[in-house]
Amino acid sequence: MAQPAIVVEAFRKAYGDVEAVAGIGFTVAEGEIFGLLGPNGAGKTTTLECLEGIRFPTAGTLRVRGVDPSREPGRLRDVIGVQLQTSSLPETMRVEEAMRFFCAYHGVAPRLDMLDRLGLRSKLRAEYGTLSTGQQRRLALALALAHEPPVVFLDEPTAGLDVGTRAELHALVGELRERGVALILATHDMAEAEKLADRVAILLAGRIVASGTPKALTAAAADLTRVTVRSEHETLAARTAQLPGVQRQARKDGYDVFFTDAVGPTVTAVLRALEEAGDPLVDLRVERPSLEERFLELTANGGVA
């Protein structure tokens, strides 16, 4: 069986008396996208920074492709690609110059095609200080991927990006997965994590309070499924008691919203009721609880689901 690309065991990190990460563990396989989710101060960035060799763990074991980040920084640089949450380049450094500069340090040819792909072709001669925040984030991403590292860490990669670039990033992440790259994605964006990540861990106050595939996590949610219905004569409002599985009902913007723990029987009953009332159906939507709702549920309960 192949060794995991990233191993985190009993990892603790304290800043003085403050314990930022309180003994967490997870592994990430090659070709796997692992989402690290959590509110501000949960320990996501600290975990990434220790894996990136920027900070040193207080206790525990960290390995990235077999490399100990705090003991072998030289070897680590060839193995990882990093987009930091907050990073910067010298104001006067030009975009193309940055690509040539860092690629030279990685010992690879400059990847100008990467700049092209991330919409920076017209900015090759622009100085870093003149770029917008989104352009600076895109440059950081291009630099992180230019040397084709087998392990990639992205910390809030889509913060400040427009819709088009975000879609391009998502496509890039998909390609990285196909190439067998192990990727950790730290993000606040639950929809993004749900879409991209194979597995996620939710961090709260330095501890992992839930982990698994996004589907498994949302399936464990206490939230009810929403059935949202709109009919021509709006006759459903008075019939809640007759609909099986419905726990509560609300009305919003002309829609009846039924919160149910039995989707099939509820939808069947809704359709039957409308037919009996001679009230034509206009719109019907079924929405399962999202990862975001599961996240909010966990964080609201202080990690006790």
Partner 1 sequence: MRPRTPSRALLHHAAFEFGSGLRNRAMLLLLYLFPLGFFLIAGALMVGLNPGFRETLIPAMVVFAIMAGCLLGLPDPIVVAREAGIFRSFKIHGVPAANILLLPGAAIVVHLTLVAAIITVAAPLLFDAPLPARFGAYLGVFLAAAAAHAGLGLLIAVVSASTRATVLWSQLVFLPSVMLGGLMVPSEMIPDTLATLARLLPATHAMNAMRGLAYGDATAFSAAGSLLVLLAGAVLGVALAVRLFQWDRRAEGRRVSPAWGVLVLAPYVLGALLL
Summarize as ranges the residues that interact with partner 1 (CB under 8 A).
Answer: 15, 52-56, 74, 77-78, 80, 82, 84, 86-93, 97, 100-102, 104-109, 127, 140, 143, 147-148
**Measured from the CB atom, is 53 or 206 closer to partner 1?**
53
Q: Cβ atoms within 10 A of the Cβ of 184, count? A: 28
Q: How far is the CB of 153 from partner 1 (least distance, A)?
A: 9
Q: How far is the CB of 250 from partner 1 (least distance, A)?
A: 46
Residues 6+ apart with CB under 8 A from 14: 20, 58
**Measured from the CB atom, is 93 or 205 closer to partner 1?**
93
Q: How far is the CB of 49 from partner 1 (least distance, A)?
A: 9
**Measured from the CB atom, is 40 or 86 closer to partner 1?**
86
Tell me how far apart the alpha carbons of residues 295 and 56 are, in angstroms, rounded to a whole number: 29
**Measured from the CB atom, is 100 or 177 closer to partner 1?**
100
Structure tokens at 208: 């992992």
Q: How far is the CB of 46 from partner 1 (least distance, A)?
A: 11
**Measured from the CB atom, is 22 or 84 closer to partner 1?**
84
Q: How far is the CB of 111 from partner 1 (least distance, A)?
A: 12
Q: How far is the CB of 127 from partner 1 (least distance, A)?
A: 7
b/e for 274-284, b at 16 or more Cβ within 10 A?
A: beeeeeeeeee
**Measured from the CB atom, is 55 or 199 closer to partner 1?**
55
Q: What is the dihedral of CA 204, 158, 73, 4, to 10 degrees?
A: 70
